[in-house]
Structures are given as C-alpha cells and as structure tokens.
Amino acid sequence: MANDIPNGNGAGTADAAPSVNALIQYTKDFSFENPKAPRSLSQQEAQQGPQMSLQVNVSTSALSETEYETVLQLEGKAEVKGETLFAFDLSYAGVFRLVNIPQEHVHPVLVIDCARLLFPFARQIIADAVQAGGFPPFYVPTIDFAALFQQRMQQLQAEQGANA
C-alpha cells in the first residue's frame, strides 16, 4: 500500500509533512526584440525615460498525480513617444512534485508558491537580455503572486455571479 512506503525518515507517506519540490526549471519560450536599433540606443532616446508595461500570467498543468508544471509568463515593453525601444516575452517553467498537499490547496500552491520560486530566475533572464540588447538591465518589479491569485478568484466569482 502507498501509505506503508517509507519517505526516508521512517514515517509512511500518509504521516509525512506536506512538501513542494522543484524537479526541474527551464525556459519554455523566449523572445527579445530591439526593433529600432541602433537608433534606439542613442543617448537622446535613452534620456527620454521610457514608459514600461508588463503583463504577468501563471498557468499550470498536471503531469501526473503528484507532478505539475507551472509556467510563469512575463511580457513587457519599453516605449518612448509611442515607439517600441525593446520588447520581451518569456515563458519560464518548472516541474514541481507536491506531496501530501490537500487537493483544494494544490492550485494556490502552484500559482503562488511555485511561481514565486520561478520568479527570480525569470527576472534575471529578462535583465540579461535587455542589457545584451544595449540597454541598462531592466529588473522586473517584485510580484505579489498571492494578491494576483486573490484578484483572479474575485474576478471569477464576479463573472459567475453575473452569469447566474
């Protein structure tokens, strides 16, 4: 029986504490565009102070009974006077093993905690790409994944209420 299998400390898996383990993480898709180079790299353009925009999305999929993929997608661009200086689109993913997590908590763990674990790596990939594109590194601001999750749940509840 599965409950009789030791988890390494002599306890059965049914008695084990909940755990989240990152098995692998990887760049799933990445694009960086510098459409106006070399003109966009001139001092005059850089001194204008670009307008930054950023979109964040987290998606998940089950790979097995205990393993899940979480994909953190960050899409952004910098513009000056309506012209794009640079743009990026990164899908950074990880495979996570969730053990002894109650089913009702699996989705929040994946979109909050797992996304939080992936974020620093995705942030560094973007900063390095922007810098390699000839600009100062752009560090994506810290993201509150718990607040994003709560906003999304409220949005879904409002939509369900409107449809009822």
- pLDDT band with cut points at 50, 70 and 90 for residue 47: low
| Mean pLDDT for the stretch of residues 33-44 | 77
Q: What is the pTM of this model?
A: 0.81
Using the predicted structure, report yes or no on whether residue 1 has a pLDDT greater than 90: no
C-alpha–C-alpha distance, residues 29 and 24, integer Å: 15
How far is it, in rounded angstroms, from Cα 30 to Cα 109?
25
Q: Are 93 and 71 in contact (CB under 8 A)?
A: yes
Residue 67: what pLDDT?
A: 97
Apex 96 CA angle, 102 and 10, nearest 5: 65
Confidence band, pLDDT 50/70/90 cuts, at residue 14: low
| Fold of the CATH domain 17-157 | Bacterial Protein-export protein SecB (3.10.420)
User: Tokens 């990164």 — which residue?
Assistant: 90
Taking CA atoms, 92 is separated from 114, 122, 123, 126, 150, in Å, by 11, 6, 10, 11, 22
Question: Which region among 11-20, 55-64, 145-154 has the lowest average model confidence (pLDDT)?
Answer: 11-20
Average pLDDT score, the chain: 87
Please return the burial class of 1, using the count of CB atoms within 10 Å of its CB with bins 0-12, 13-18 and 19+: exposed
- The residue type at 42: S
Mean pLDDT in residue range 88-106: 96
Query: Residue 4 pLDDT more than 50?
Result: no
Question: In sequence order, what are the beta bridge partners of 93?
Answer: 26, 71
> Domains of the chain: which residue ranges?
17-157
Is the Cβ–Cβ distance between 25 and 92 less than 8 Å? yes
